[in-house]
Amino acid sequence: MIFLEFPITGDMRFPLLILEWISMIILLEISLVFLFRYKKQEKTLKNLQDIGYFAIFSGFSLMSLFYILGDYYSSDSIIFPFLIWIYGSERIFFLNLGYFTALIACFVLIFCIEKYNVFFYKKYFYSSIISIFTFLFLITFFIDIRITQRFTYGFWYTFLIFFINFLIKFFKKLKYKGIFLFIAIALLASGYSLTTDIFITMFGLESRMIGDILQLISLLLLSYFFFTLIDFSEFDWKEKTEALFLIDKAGICLYHKIFKKKKELISENLISAAISIVNEMLNELIGSGNDKGVLIIKKPNQIVMIYSGETLSGVLYMTEDLNFPKVKLKEFVDKFELLFKNIIQDQSIKFPKEKLFNYTETITEDLFFK
Amino acid sequence: MLLQLSEIREIQFFLCLTNIILGIQLVLFFFNRYHKINAERLQLNKVLLSYGSVCLLSIIGAFILIINRVFISSPYLKEILDKLGYILIFFSIITFLFFITSEEFSKIIKLNTIKVLIILIFIPIILVILIPSNAFIFSFIKIIFMVLSLVLLCTFQIRLVIKAKSKIKKHLIQILIGGIMSFGSLFFVIEIFIHLLYPLENSTNLLFLFTLSFITGFIIILSGVYDFPAFFELNWEENLINLFIINQNNNSCLYKYNFSGIFQEGRLLKEKDEYYRKSFEDIFLGGITGIDRIIAEITNTENEKINKIKRENSLVFLEYGSNFFSNITYALITKKDLDSNLYFLKSLKKKFEYIFKEVLIDVEDFEEKEQLFKNFDVIIDDLLL
């Protein structure tokens, strides 16, 4: 057992500090990439998951800064009274700020992910648990800052379970890149373990040095992974798309496609007429003005998206309110109008109308299946 | 025993290190963006290489200077590293100028001026090598040179912003603002902190301020580089004349667009001399296909297609449909031989095939083809503006 003294001094101090500082900056850089990705997304496509990733990486960066301040620049000796507490130390204070930052960052990430996904049986299941831990942490923080660490164990376990749950879902879509992500996360986890007080008291600061190097390698891998990853908005949406309709201003169904075989619907002509009436009624009631956005009608397990173009309207049945399908629906209607608006409007154009269906099928394949 | 620094020195070092790491990321972004958009080797895209190289060498130079100041105690090594750091910073301006020595940049800065500047920059480099780093004249040269370099970079960037149009202008303005903040801060970090204020322990606040300014500048530049579009030649759109999309099977025109109507005469005059225009089109459509066949026959290159037909005052760029659409020819008539024309034509081809691919498969079944493809006007307008 090695006795640990804070702030860390000696030969290892400066190299360790350099490694940890670099890791902190890289975390900040990754977070900035997510922020830019979010900012540069099309307005209707904006995905809060990117904000979640921004929060987690910037939060962990800030947490690293607090850990650096706690381990390298603060004393561990207990002072009484300490600021607003009866007992406390500078190091414990900074570590607490780090824990709190991690709690908030993880909460934001989980909330943003759960906005688009349901884990277990209930939406916002993990967000609720993390918020309870945050609440308990805050209460304990003001009572005694020396015991808050115990609450963080529960929080970290919850986050770990959520993360494994999420990764299982996420890995399927990543294919070979999933292995890359797995290696990076394994390195990060093992690296982090080696920097904890338990390992340092067993193996000394050399353990922390190896842990820092592993984390740095992992962060470089993660940087590459995230810089080359496609937008998160493109995951999952296909599984939640149930049916597509294209209707003209008179409410006649020009085309329909059922994506889920289990989905049982009444006649497409009845649906088209009904949607058309609903759309008209809503325009009268709440007005559409010049808004070319997608109209969303929500029910507990069914979302109906309606996008009205100049001459046609597209309708999409979804199981969740996602952003990306809105863009696809808009693209579908706009493309159809661009292709066939003249033909639909101008009856004198000799166009083999029976081919319309085949073309629409190809557009659907292209936009919704590829 | 490894190095031990006072806490203040450590914090100062880490603030400098932050600038260096962020700078390296910026370099990666510049080079990565250049790599992504440079499929057609547009000359003006090299401006990203210029920015990237100036960042890379200045950052490495600054890093050497910081390491030298903080860690090195041997006077001999200190002298060498000091000179090396500044040579790299000075040399970064040469690389910046080197990448903009192509003809296209002459509309912004005269090529002869660039060449003279490159030669002139070698003078301070030689002086830095010859003069001892602790001499007053050494400090004088480097400060004067760095200020002049910043002025040069700003002047170039401002002129580029003035000449640029539409989306790219916004990105260049962001890079200009971010660049002034970042490089201005880096200059202060190198010169003020490393040389003048280093002996003072309480200079940390100032350094912290400059680091914050650097990070802000860095974020602004990053925003400008993140989705930097392909940089077409300046005013390239004014050289466009006509676009024809031809079905080679029957020499019919699927789609046509008259650019001169927009850029010279105004859209309303597009229909002027309709008879002349129609006869020109008929000759052109059949002619292009005929020329292609004749040349293929006489040169025995039937599997290869003509890409460009050049005359003194006009050119025809030709592209051919991919996969199932090999019977479609895209002809762009222009006044000048610019890389942007080819890039533009390829973008048009990609869009046209993407939008109309379903229809193009059996295009010959339709009689009213021009009506069918008329809506493509919207896409062209969007690409041009």
**How far apart are alpha carbons B114 and B111 in whole angstroms?**
5
Smallest Cβ–Cβ distance between B21 and the set A11, A25, A352 belongs to A25
Please say if the pLDDT value at position B263 is more than 60: no
- Assess A11–B contact: CB distance below 8 Å, yes or no: yes
pLDDT score at A217:
92
Among A66, A89, A59, A65, CA closest to A77? A89
Smallest Cβ–Cβ distance between A40 and the set B10, B25, B227 belongs to B227
Q: What is the mean pLDDT of residues B44-56?
A: 91
Q: What is the mean pLDDT of chain B?
A: 80
User: How many angstroms separate the CA of residue A168 from the nearest CA in chain B?
Assistant: 31
Closest chain A residue by Cα to residue B366: A351
- Assess B312–A contact: CB distance below 8 Å, yes or no: no
- Assess A39–B contact: CB distance below 8 Å, yes or no: yes
**How far apart are alpha carbons A209 and B46 in whole angstroms?**
41
**How far apart are alpha carbons A314 and A3 in whole angstroms?**
69
Closest chain B residue by Cα to residue A366: B354
pLDDT score at B365:
66
pLDDT score at A317:
84
- Assess B208–A contact: CB distance below 8 Å, yes or no: no
Q: How many CB atoms lie within 10 A of CB A319?
A: 15
**How far apart are alpha carbons B179 and A39 in whole angstroms?**
21
Please say if the pLDDT value at position B238 is more than 90: no
CA distances from A251 to A316, A358, A361, B310 (A): 15, 21, 20, 54
Please say if the pLDDT value at position B285 is more than 80: no
SS3 A102: helix
pLDDT score at A263:
60
- CB < 8 Å to B1, chain A: 11
pLDDT score at B302:
67
Contact B308, B316 (CB under 8 A): yes
User: How many angstroms separate the CA of residue A23 from the nearest CA in chain B?
Assistant: 10
Determine whether the interchain pair A362/B357 forms a contact, defined as Cβ–Cβ distance below 8 Å.
yes
- Assess B206–A contact: CB distance below 8 Å, yes or no: no
pLDDT score at A284:
62
Contact A120, A158 (CB under 8 A): no
User: Which pLDDT band, with edges at 50, 70 and 90, does B42 fall under?
Assistant: confident
Q: What is the DSSP string of B37-69?
A: H-TT--GGGHHHHHHHHHHHHHHHHHHHHHHHH
Smallest Cβ–Cβ distance between A15 and the set B2, B22, B362 belongs to B2
Please say if the pLDDT value at position B176 is more than 90: yes
Q: How many CB atoms lie within 10 A of CB B54?
A: 25
pLDDT score at A32:
87
Smallest Cβ–Cβ distance between B226 and the set A15, A40, A341 belongs to A40
- CB < 8 Å to A343, chain B: 371-372
**How far apart are alpha carbons A331 and A357 in whole angstroms?**
17
pLDDT score at B268:
39
Q: What is the mean pLDDT of residues B309-325?
A: 77
**Phi, psi angles (nearest 5°) of residue A11:** -60, -35
Total beta-carbon pairs less than 8 A apart between chain A and chain B: 72
Q: Which of A41-45, B241-245, B347-351 has the lowest mean pLDDT?
A: A41-45
Contact A249, A311 (CB under 8 A): yes
For chain A, residues with pLDDT lower than 70 are 1-3, 42-45, 171-175, 227, 229-236, 261-266, 268, 282-293, 345-358, 369-370
User: How many angstroms separate the CA of residue A35 from the nearest CA in chain B?
Assistant: 10
Best of A8, A25, A40, A45 to disrupt the B interface (most B CBs within 10 Å) is A25
- This complex has an ipTM of 0.71
Q: Which residue has the higher pLDDT, A149 or B282?
A: A149
Could you identify the residue written with the tokens 């960052």? A105
